[in-house]
Amino acid sequence: MSTPADAFLNLLREQVGAQRVIVDAEPMAPYLQEQRRIYQGQALAVVQPATTAEVAAVVRLCAAHQVPVVPQGGNTGVCGGGVPLDARAVVLSTERLTRIRHLDADNLTLTAEAGCILAHLQDAAQAAGCFFPLSLGGEGSCRIGGNLSTNAGGINVLRYGNARELMLGLEVVLPDGEIWDGLRALRKDNTGYALRHLFVGAEGTLGIITAAVLRLFPYPQHRETAFVAVPSPEAALRVLQRMQRCTADLLNAFELISRPGLDIGMKNLPGSREPFGERHPWYVLVEASASADIGLKAMMDKGLAQSLDCGDVLDAVVATSESQRSQLWRLREIHAGGHQWQEGGLIKHDIAVPVSQTPRMIERGTRAAQAACPGVRVIAFGHMGDGNIHFNLVQPVGEPAQDFMARREALNRIVHDIVDELGGSVSAEHGIGLLRMQEMARYKSDAELALMWRIKQALDPLGLMNPGKVLPPAAGPGPATGGPGCP
Ligand SMILES: Cc1cc2nc3c(=O)[nH]c(=O)nc-3n(C[C@H](O)[C@H](O)[C@H](O)COP(=O)(O)OP(=O)(O)OC[C@H]3O[C@@H](n4cnc5c(N)ncnc54)[C@H](O)[C@@H]3O)c2cc1C
């Protein structure tokens, strides 16, 4: 006997084709789990539309049948934002929206569909002699719609800003299925509310981004990359200021690297080598770039020499080839959580504080975490140049992982309270998803949460767009009801 859910699935098939509505457990499985495997999802189907019109038709159908919609790009998000929570939900994958619609090298803009993989956009820009600076660990599989929806950051934010700053216009399918064409390629546009910014960082709770106009830059032909040993985060902060001055503000990356993070990374990555003869407590990877030959090397050398003279730098190596540059970046990249998970329990924080407060944050956070959990290994690293520190806590050696993970909430509270006191944010670039909802309730003011809920209700009155994410339910009207087969 045919159920209302079957009838709904048939309507979906009419819109996108039978092959593009996945209902079998095995092919659906990768869409129901995020890569950290913290959350396990459930859904009625995964739908793969290929055009904006198909996305709109799917969303219209879902609205008519009160079916929750969970957009998904590359599913590399680390906060569980793309995990469907409701067995009646439809996962709307953007993986077939992969057209680059237009690249205007004279206007330095690129118009791309939401499912374009970030690395492909970087390549397309470079082929046209341009540069798309958004760059992050998951760039080989994350998709630009997901990058915009999480307002992704990465390694070049210091110079170029995060995903929001790299976006000039959007096309969005709204929760009722209407298409909003806001694909303007303008650097100036003061015509009322900047609606496009509502959808950036909204993690799919207000609509589905189907295409975007992105800012490009002249390709940086000249790069100087240095790996620098420093005695402390305070010294690193002074090096940052000095290097900014000496390179005439041309730094694009300033990444902090911690001794314990390097040790764990090197232990778990065969073939990696100590960067200097001597072990040092902290390092920074500094990179400056320019589109013309303006003597960047001399500028970097001057900044480093000054820093050596006053003891802020203990040792330094500047890459002399592209392969050396890659090796230096590898020392930064081995801090990715992958190696830290191999140590057992791992509690991650993606925090932002004013750049001037980064040393204080690291010092206070480390002291408090170690007092609460003796033996915990603190790995503070990341995008110091823009105040975004990944403050990871690795379990004490020998402790059962589950005992350490049982302290997660308490340790989160300790770290995030310090961040809050320093005027910071508990999510710098990863978003909220499911992982940080409790923190939203604790650290956002009632007025701010109420305003967010009013926006949500105005755009998505049925509460069908990625329900249960970002906004803590206590402050709002609660999840949507209904769905095919439900009263
Ligand atoms: C190894 C590794 C390194 C990483 N490094 C960084 C880093 O340095 N900086 C950083 O910021 N992040 C980093 N990330 C996290 C992740 O890559 C980013 O959050 C990325 O932007 C997610 O893109 P995605 O396409 O995978 O989105 P998904 O995971 O598919 O989705 C993320 C959220 O966006 C929503 N969404 C997806 N597409 C759309 C759409 N078209 N319209 C509306 N909503 C949508 C989803 O519902 C979900 O809430 C890293 C991840 C990994 C695995």
**Strand 282-290, strand 208-215: pairing:** unpaired
Q: Which atom of ligand 1 is nearest to the CA of 149?
A: 34
* 73 alpha carbon – ligand 1 mean position (Å): 7
Examine residue 26 and state whether it is found in any structural domain, yes or no: yes
Choose the final residue of a domain: 295, 314, 333.
333
Residue 333: pLDDT above 70? Answer: yes
Question: Which residue owns the Cα nearest ligand 1 atom 5?
Answer: 137
Whole-number average pLDDT of the chain: 94
Domain of 368?
A: 343-441
Ligand 1: which of 35, 47, 149, 214 to mutate, judged by most atoms within 8 Å of the beta carbon? 149
Do residues 235 and 126 share a domain?
Answer: no
pLDDT, residue 235, reads 98
Residue 485 reports pLDDT greater than 50: no
pLDDT digits (tens, 9 = 90+) for 377-428: 999 999 999 999 999 999 999 999 999 999 999 999 999 999 999 999 999 9
Give the atom of ligand 1 at the shortest distance from the alpha carbon of 207: 43
CA–CA separation, 331 and 228 (whole Å): 12
Tell me what pLDDT residue 473 has.
83
Q: Among the atoms of ligand 1, which is closest to the Cα of residue 209? A: 42
Q: Look at residue 217 in the predicted model and tell me its pLDDT.
A: 98
CATH assignment at residue 360: 3.30.70.2740
Look at residue 482 and tell me if it is in a domain: no
**Helix intervals (H) in 247-396:** 259-268, 296-309, 322-333, 337-341, 358-372
Which residues surround ligand 1 with Cβ inside 6 Å? Answer: 35, 70-78, 81-82, 94, 114, 136-138, 142-143, 145-147, 149-150, 152-154, 203-204, 208-209, 336, 429-430, 433, 466, 469
The proportion of the chain whose per-residue pLDDT surpasses 90, expressed as a percent, equals 90
Atom in ligand 1 nearest the alpha carbon of residue 78: 15
How confident is the model at residue 449, as a pLDDT? Answer: 96
Tokens linked to 31: 């869409």
pLDDT at position 343 is: 84
pLDDT band at 29 (very low <50, low <70, confident <90, very high): very high
Choice from 135, 136, 429, 466 to test ligand 1 binding pocket (greatest atom count within 8 A of CB): 136
Pair 309, 247 in one domain:
yes
CB atoms within 10 A of CB 338: 13
Query: Would you say residue 338 lies in a domain?
Result: no
Same structural domain for residues 256 and 301?
Answer: yes
**Under the phi-then-psi rule, with left for phi > 0, alpha for psi from -120 to 50, and beta for the rest, what region is 243?**
alpha
Ligand 1 geometric centre to CA of 34 (Å): 10
Pick the closest to residue 165 from 437, 429, 423, 433 (CA basis): 429
Q: Is residue 485 part of a domain?
A: no
Question: pLDDT per residue over 309-319, tens digit each?
Answer: 999 999 999 99
Are residue 153 and residue 86 in the same domain, yes or no?
no
pLDDT of residue 337: 59
Closest to 309 in 3D by CA, of 246, 385, 381: 246
> Looking at the domain assignment, is residue 238 inside a domain?
yes
> How far apart are alpha carbons 319 and 341 in whole angstroms?
30
CA distances, 314 to each of 242, 310, 352 (Å): 15, 10, 27
* pLDDT above 80 (res 336): no
- 121 lies in some domain: yes
Residue 114 lies in a domain: yes
Residue 213 and residue 105 share a domain: yes
Q: Are residues 178 and 261 in the same domain?
A: no
Average pLDDT over residues 222-247: 98
The whole-number pLDDT of residue 335 equals 79
Distance CA 22, CA 45 (A): 5
Q: What is the pLDDT of residue 344?
A: 87
Of all atoms in ligand 1, which is nearest to the CA of residue 81? 49
Structure tokens at 218: 């002249």
pLDDT range class, residue 37, cuts 50, 70, 90 = confident
- pLDDT band (50, 70, 90) for residue 273: confident
Residue nearest to atom 23 of ligand 1 (CA): 146
Task: Kindly state whether residue 293 falls inside one of the protein's structural domains.
Answer: yes
User: Do 160 and 132 belong to one domain?
Assistant: yes
Question: Is the pLDDT at 160 greater than 70, yes or no?
Answer: yes
Phi, then psi, of 318 in degrees rounded to 5 = -110, 130
Cα(35) to ligand 1 centroid in Å equals 11
Q: Which CATH number characterizes residue 273's domain?
A: 3.30.70.2190
Task: Tell me which of 294 and 478 has the higher pLDDT.
Answer: 294
Task: Report how far residue 392's alpha carbon sits from residue 344's, in angstroms, rounded to the nearest whole number.
Answer: 13
DSSP string, 213-233: EEE-EE---EEEEEEEEES-H
Which one of 93, 125, 145 terminates a domain?
93
**Same-domain pairing of 113 and 214:** yes
Please say if the pLDDT value at position 476 is more than 60. no
Task: Count the domains in the chain.
Answer: 5
Q: How far is the CA of 119 from the centre of ligand 1 (A)?
A: 13
Q: Which long-range contacts (CB under 8 A, 24 or more apart) does 328-333 make?
A: 328/225, 328/226, 328/227, 328/275, 328/285, 329/225, 329/285, 330/272, 331/227, 331/257, 331/262, 331/265, 331/272, 331/275, 331/283, 331/285, 332/255, 332/257, 332/285, 333/137
